[in-house]
Structure 1
Amino acid sequence: MTLPGFHLALPVDDLDHARAFYGDVLGLDQGRSADAWIDWNFHGHQLVTHVVAGHRGTAGHNPVDGHDVPVPHFGLLLTIKNFHVLADRLRAAGTEFVIEPYLRFAGEPGEQWTMFLLDPAGNALEFKAFRDESQVFAR
């Protein structure tokens, strides 16, 4: 793991569901855990799922490129190859996408593959991959 990275604490309502989703579906390695939380290796970053009784992620929406993007959300930038491997893995697991994997801003600065989904607690996640990584912050 290369530092610096980020640390995100995320509320979930059921740790077994979180373990199945983040471990089995997303394929993340589990780190330390206790009765009310689990550390995950989120591609070199620390993601911690904490049980918050009764939590259900609620997201508004913001229109982007003809889609209603869930807000708030978090996610990860991947290579195009890894993006498609993950998309295939999610499809094979029967994941219901909020926004199906597609190419956004085609031919424009910031062209990217993107997909949105919810974890079992309703937290919104986005995964994306840029055609040209130098365009991540392009205007």
Structure 2
Amino acid sequence: MSNCFHLAIPAGDLNLAKNFYCEVLGCKSGNSEKHRWLDIDFWGNELTLHQSEESLPKVRHDVDMGAVLVPHFGIHLPEREFQALKARIEAAGLVYLDPPYRRFIDSEYEQETFFIADPNGNILEMKTMVNPKVLFKVESANMLNH
């Protein structure tokens, strides 16, 4: 797991959070300290869920397709995994905060995305890119010009 991203978030009840991340999203649990925190393998990244009573404040920011909830985090998945994740979310009866939709249609940045909340109200954006190789293309090109 070298160069993996680490994020620690307030998770509310750890048992509810573990069920959401492991049973619904399909992640695996890792190291933990009982009643304090739990590590989740979030598609190769370390997500640490902290037992808490607080949650993060949320606001909506305007972007190309409307107003998205911030803060949020998520993952880019291959198409097949993304569609399987949508099926698991729908089978679990979860409600989308922003239902699946496509952005940047007919461009090299075309993607499908949706927003959901975990049991503590943390916002997740899940995506699949039609062409995942362009994700950092603009930034990489800009860096070469400096």
Kept in 2, the 8 Å contact 1:58–1:123? The answer is no
Kept in 1, the 8 Å contact 2:65–2:103? The answer is no
Kept in 2, the 8 Å contact 1:57–1:124? The answer is no
Q: 1:75 matched to which residue of 2?
A: 74
- State the AA in 2 paired with 1:30: S
| Amino-acid identity (%) | 38
Distance (whole Å) between structure 2 residues aligned to residue 22 and residue 11 of structure 1: 14
Query: Bigger radius of gyration, 1 or 2?
Result: 2
Kept in 2, the 8 Å contact 1:75–1:127? The answer is yes
Hey, which of these two has a bigger chunk of helix by percent? 2
Distance (whole Å) between structure 2 residues aligned to residue 37 and residue 13 of structure 1: 10
- State the AA in 2 paired with 1:82: E
Gaps of 5+ in 1: none
CA offset digits 1:54-106 (Å, max 9, x no partner): x1232111123433211010011111111111011111111111111121111
- State the AA in 1 paired with 2:132: E
Shift of 1:36: 1.0
Distance (whole Å) between structure 1 residues aligned to residue 56 and residue 85 of structure 2: 22
Q: How does 1:1-80 map to 2 (within 5 A)?
A: 2-34=1-33, 35-53=35-53, 55-80=54-79
Gaps of 5+ in 2: 139-146
Q: Give the total of aligned pairs.
A: 137
Q: 2:130 matched to which residue of 1?
A: 131
Distance (whole Å) between structure 2 residues aligned to residue 102 and residue 94 of structure 1: 19
- State the AA in 2 paired with 1:6: F
- State the AA in 2 paired with 1:67: G
Distance (whole Å) between structure 1 residues aligned to residue 135 and residue 87 of structure 2: 23
Q: Normalising to structure 2: TM-score of the pair?
A: 0.87
Change (3 A) 1:63 1:138: farther
